[in-house]
Amino acid sequence: MPRAAHRHGVPTGVPPLTYSPRLLEKLQQFAFKDDTFFTVACEQFPEVAEFILRILFDKPSLKVLRVTPQRNIGALLGRSLRLDVLATGDDGRIYNIEVQQASAGAIPKRARFHSSAIDNAFLPKGEDFARLPESWVVFITQHDVIGSGHMMYHIDRVVAETGLPFRDEAHIVYACMDNADFTPAGQLLDDLQRRAASDIHYPLLAQTMRYLKETTKGVSSMCEIMEEAIKYDRMETAAKMLKKGIITEEEAMDNFDLTEDEIRQIAAPNAVFFK
């Protein structure tokens, strides 16, 4: 695929689009570590999620059957959750991949919550607990949240008295981009930070970035998702302010440019808006 030339961050190798130059400029600044770009890449190219898991787990034969981006996991009681990427392996294992640039969004208790939410979502009512699928929550973080200087952290429960594994098959992995080394996993973490396809080592990731940033269909799909994300962020902020009683529904409509239907949606008791 020929590479498109760029002027002021806007691709010039594709036909004119109706999107604003500001939106196109923002698109060119994206890297895979940005959750919007990451989820679109995994949605349109499920092999990207599979490739990332193969590298991080050092399992070249790992196969992913389904990839679901931005899945909302609701809750009748307590907080709901929106996952970046949820993947199901051909062996039934469940993988949740999260990209977090802010350390506050990747604290250990959040990883614990993700793990428990996945358990709740994948065990039907009345089903035996032994049928819970093995799960992996993977947090790809910018900074070293654990703080011990490692690139990879693998967290599993152990029995304190014996030091033996608890074998609940619920695993948590942290991969720190700041601590990327020269191993294949380290090269992957470095690639996730690159904003230009020409700077990316792995061909699959480079080709995916070129498609999403430099082709008509790719740019169009990215801009549509970005516009939806901007709208979602407005609705999420309004929902939080409504919940805290900071603003009224009328003020939310005026300040956040929301319709009556959107206000009813975010004010509903079972609204899923908090990532």
Report pTM: 0.79
pLDDT in tens, 178-196: 999 999 999 999 999 999 9
pLDDT level of residue 9 (50, 70, 90 thresholds): very low
Q: What is the pLDDT of residue 128?
A: 95
Q: Which amino acid, residue 103?
A: S
Q: What is the pLDDT of residue 234?
A: 78
Spatial neighbors of 44 by CB under 8 A, at least 6 apart, are 208, 211, 212, 221
Torsion of CA 49, 55, 57, 58, to 10 degrees: 140
More confident residue, 129 or 230: 129
pLDDT in tens, 211-265: 999 998 999 889 888 877 777 777 888 888 888 889 888 888 888 888 888 888 8
Spatial neighbors of 176 by CB under 8 A, at least 6 apart, are 141, 142, 143, 144, 145, 146, 150, 151, 152, 153, 189
pLDDT level of residue 134 (50, 70, 90 thresholds): very high
Spatial neighbors of 124 by CB under 8 A, at least 6 apart, are none
Q: What is the pLDDT of residue 249?
A: 86
